[in-house]
């Protein structure tokens, strides 16, 4: 046998031996050791938290700031949100992001069942309520009970009513509270609370308070009575009691936890603070001003003159040349430090919000002493949650800051406390009408505030029947249809 034939035979025998004796090792040899084959419930937690907090931080800047007269693009044309200019696809990103994050939570839920870790089912319920709350408050009736079941062949889910959604989420938060109370170990990568289940329970119950309060105009829900029962029973319903408890996501700016803005200039350039927001802080002599914004200035005789903190009106005529000064702009250090690794926060839910809920409940129950105490705690928490925020001892001696026994005073400070908190300023304005935002003749819709986004454009094409059912039930698919809790 020649060498060629011998080598060929040897090679064939080797291949046959490999084929018959080593097949069972093939998958092991070709498995990427860096790839997670099975999803564990804890592995879904940080990507979901980071994804939601970062997306809605940017949306607060892009959308809520303009709508609620916090800040606006400068210069800007008439096609901007602060003129109440909206497009039919304005809510598409919110729709897509919420459902993408909800898919993560569905995987977390399934993995919690598979691994026998009910604590993660509770965490999934908490985050689900947070995400679906934003989704339904933004659109009204949305697919919920039948959503994300394409793998089971359900491609055209029904739209649950907002009432059904709220009652379901509240039930889930109640059940999650009981699961947290039973105890359980968390063992994943938890960007928010570092696997501290007691803090997750406080977040869960604080969120429960938010959702019950949102229904306050629906008198049949007895929101204030239900909230008072929670407030009076802190052992059964522990909630935020300090900024250390709050859902403030720490972001280092280091990969993979990049700042929401890749470059500092993308956050600070071509953006001016709004006159309404700045004037409110000026009247309060508020210590948050240097944390939130720069000082305005004007060029006079070749030198810049300091104008203090000064904004420009929202929904102005569109002629930027009318302002002969450089207005205050966002302070870059709040969100994008030049030194990477310097920690900032992204707000999911603050401790201040809980205190303002308590203040509102006490106010409507006629307990002015409790309302004032909660109001002061809320303001203090709102100031000190930010890096460098220090509460002056004489803050409440200012007549504009002192609690004056009115609901407007509570809500105006809550508006400031909800700064950079997704769409919460918008939602609360729709619920209460506060703060009283100035109108201009340049606003669209005769100055009527938009109350929702239009449904995703794809929904109208691919789920037309269920879409039409929802629209007929709600009344219309436009920017001024009121959702259930607003009626």
Q: Is 406 exposed, middle or buried (0-12, 13-18, 19+ CB in 10 A)?
A: exposed
At 420 the pLDDT is 98
Which residue has tokens 């938009």?
450
Name the token pair of 470.
Answer: 């929802």
At 319 the pLDDT is 83
CA dihedral 53, 57, 59, 64 (to 10 degrees): 120
Which of 434, 402, 375 minimizes the C-alpha distance to 216?
434
At 37 the pLDDT is 54
Q: Could you tell me the residue ranges of all domains in the chain?
A: 41-261+341-486
Say yes or no to pLDDT of 198 above 60. Answer: yes
pLDDT higher for 151 or 40? 40
Give the residue-averaged pLDDT of 325-350.
Answer: 96
Query: Model confidence over 212-238: pLDDT tens digits?
Result: 999 999 999 999 999 999 999 999 999
Which of 247, 317, 336 minimizes the C-alpha distance to 58?
336
Say yes or no to pLDDT of 42 above 60. Answer: yes
Give the residue-averaged pLDDT of 34-48.
Answer: 80
List C-alpha distances in Å: 241 to 156, 244, 473. Answer: 43, 8, 40
- Residue 162: CA atoms inside 13 Å, Cβ hemisphere, count? 23
Q: What's the DSSP call for residue 64?
A: I
How many Å apart are CA 93 and CA 472, to the nearest integer?
A: 24
| Cβ-contact 123, 192 below 8 angstroms | no
What is the band of 320 on the pLDDT scale with cuts at 50, 70, 90?
A: confident
Say yes or no to pLDDT of 261 above 80. Answer: yes
Say yes or no to pLDDT of 15 above 90. Answer: no
How many Å apart are CA 264 and CA 394, to the nearest integer?
A: 34
At 30 the pLDDT is 44
Give the residue-averaged pLDDT of 253-272.
Answer: 96
pLDDT higher for 110 or 10? 110
| Cβ-contact 170, 211 below 8 angstroms | yes
Beta strands in 118-198 (DSSP E): 142-143, 159-160
Give the residue-averaged pLDDT of 45-50.
Answer: 97
Q: Is 11 exposed, middle or buried (0-12, 13-18, 19+ CB in 10 A)?
A: exposed
Which of 454, 362, 388 minimizes the C-alpha distance to 95?
454
How many Å apart are CA 352 and CA 367, to the nearest integer?
A: 19
Say yes or no to pLDDT of 486 above 60. Answer: yes
Beta strands in 226-337 (DSSP E): 247-251, 271-273, 296-300, 303-308
Q: What's the DSSP call for residue 62?
A: I
List C-alpha distances in Å: 34 to 30, 31, 37, 104, 251. Answer: 12, 9, 9, 20, 25
| CATH code, residues 41-261+341-486 | 1.25.40.390
How many Å apart are CA 179 and CA 173, to the nearest integer?
A: 10
Say yes or no to pLDDT of 20 above 50. Answer: no
At 150 the pLDDT is 85
Angle (CA) 257 260 262, round 5°: 90
Which of 104, 53, 33 minimizes the C-alpha distance to 258?
53
Query: Model confidence over 426-465: pLDDT tens digits?
Result: 999 999 999 999 999 999 999 999 999 999 999 999 999 9
Say yes or no to pLDDT of 66 above 90. Answer: yes
Query: Crossing angle, helix 45-59 and helix 92-115, to 10 degrees?
Result: 160
How many Å apart are CA 487 and CA 485, to the nearest integer?
A: 6
At 193 the pLDDT is 98
Query: Model confidence over 377-405: pLDDT tens digits?
Result: 999 999 999 999 999 999 999 999 999 99
446 Ramachandran zone, left/alpha/beta (phi>0; psi -120 to 50): left
| Cβ-contact 226, 212 below 8 angstroms | yes
Beta strands in 196-336 (DSSP E): 247-251, 271-273, 296-300, 303-308
Say yes or no to pLDDT of 174 above 80. Answer: yes
Q: Give percent above pLDDT 90 in the chain.
A: 88
- Looking at every residue in the chain, the average pLDDT score rounds to 92
What is the band of 318 on the pLDDT scale with cuts at 50, 70, 90?
A: confident
Query: Model confidence over 345-368: pLDDT tens digits?
Result: 999 999 999 999 999 999 999 999
| Cβ-contact 97, 55 below 8 angstroms | yes
Angle (CA) 250 254 256, round 5°: 85
CA 331 to chain centre: 21
Query: Crossing angle, helix 223-231 and helix 197-214, to 10 degrees?
Result: 160
478 Ramachandran zone, left/alpha/beta (phi>0; psi -120 to 50): beta
| Cβ-contact 213, 206 below 8 angstroms | no
Which of 370, 334, 337 minimizes the C-alpha distance to 355?
370
How many Å apart are CA 484 and CA 201, to the nearest integer?
A: 28
Say yes or no to pLDDT of 211 above 80. Answer: yes
At 338 the pLDDT is 87
């Amino acid at each position: 046998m020649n060498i060629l034939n011998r080598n060929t035979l040897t090679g064939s025998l080797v291949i046959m031996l490999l084929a018959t004796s080593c097949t069972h090792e093939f998958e092991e040899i070709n498995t990427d050791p860096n790839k997670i084959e099975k999803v564990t419930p804890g592995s879904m937690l940080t990507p979901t938290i980071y994804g939601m907090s970062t997306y809605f931080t940017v949306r607060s800047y892009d959308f809520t700031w303009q709508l609620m007269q916090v800040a606006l693009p400068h210069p800007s044309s008439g096609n901007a949100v602060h003129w109440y200019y909206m497009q039919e696809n304005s809510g598409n990103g919110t729709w897509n992001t919420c459902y993408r994050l909800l898919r993560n939570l569905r995987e977390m839920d399934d993995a919690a069942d598979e691994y026998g870790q009910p604590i993660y089912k509770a965490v999934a319920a908490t985050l689900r309520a947070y995400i679906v709350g934003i989704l339904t408050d933004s659109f009204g009736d949305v697919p919920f009970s039948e959503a994300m079941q394409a793998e089971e062949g359900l491609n055209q889910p029904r739209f649950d009513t907002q009432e059904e959604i709220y009652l379901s989420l509240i039930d889930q938060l109640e059940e999650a509270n009981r699961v947290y109370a039973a105890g359980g170990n968390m063992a994943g990568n938890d960007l928010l609370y570092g696997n501290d289940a007691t803090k997750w329970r406080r977040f869960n119950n604080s969120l429960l308070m938010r959702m019950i309060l949102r229904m306050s105009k629906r008198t049949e829900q007895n929101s204030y009575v239900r909230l008072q029962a929670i407030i009076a029973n802190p052992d059964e319903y522990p909630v935020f009691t300090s900024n250390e408890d709050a859902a403030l996501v720490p972001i280092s700016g280091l990969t993979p936890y990049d700042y929401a803005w890749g470059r500092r200039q993308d956050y600070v350039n071509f953006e001016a603070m709004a006159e309404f927001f700045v004037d409110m802080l000026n009247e309060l002599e508020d210590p948050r001003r240097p944390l939130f914004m720069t000082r305005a200035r004007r060029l006079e005789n070749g030198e810049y003159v300091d104008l203090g903190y000064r904004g420009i009106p929202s929904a102005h005529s569109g002629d930027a040349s009318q302002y002969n000064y450089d207005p205050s702009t966002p302070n870059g250090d709040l969100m994008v430090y030049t030194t990477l690794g310097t920690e900032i926060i992204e707000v999911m839910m603050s401790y201040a919000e809980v205190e303002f809920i308590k203040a509102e409940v006490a106010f409507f129950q006629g307990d002015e002493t409790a309302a004032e105490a909660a109001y002061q705690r809320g303001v203090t928490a709102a100031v000190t949650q930010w890096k460098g925020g220090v509460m002056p001892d004489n803050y409440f001696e200012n007549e504009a800051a002192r609690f004056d026994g009115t609901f407007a005073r509570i809500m105006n400070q809550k508006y400031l406390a909800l700064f950079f908190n997704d769409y919460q300023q918008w939602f609360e304005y729709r619920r209460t009408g506060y703060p009283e935002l100035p109108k201009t003749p340049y606003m669209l819709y005769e100055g009527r505030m938009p109350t929702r986004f239009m449904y995703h454009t794809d929904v109208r094409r691919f789920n037309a029947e269920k879409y039409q059912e929802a629209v007929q039930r709600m009344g219309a698919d436009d920017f001024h249809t009121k959702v259930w809790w607003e009626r």
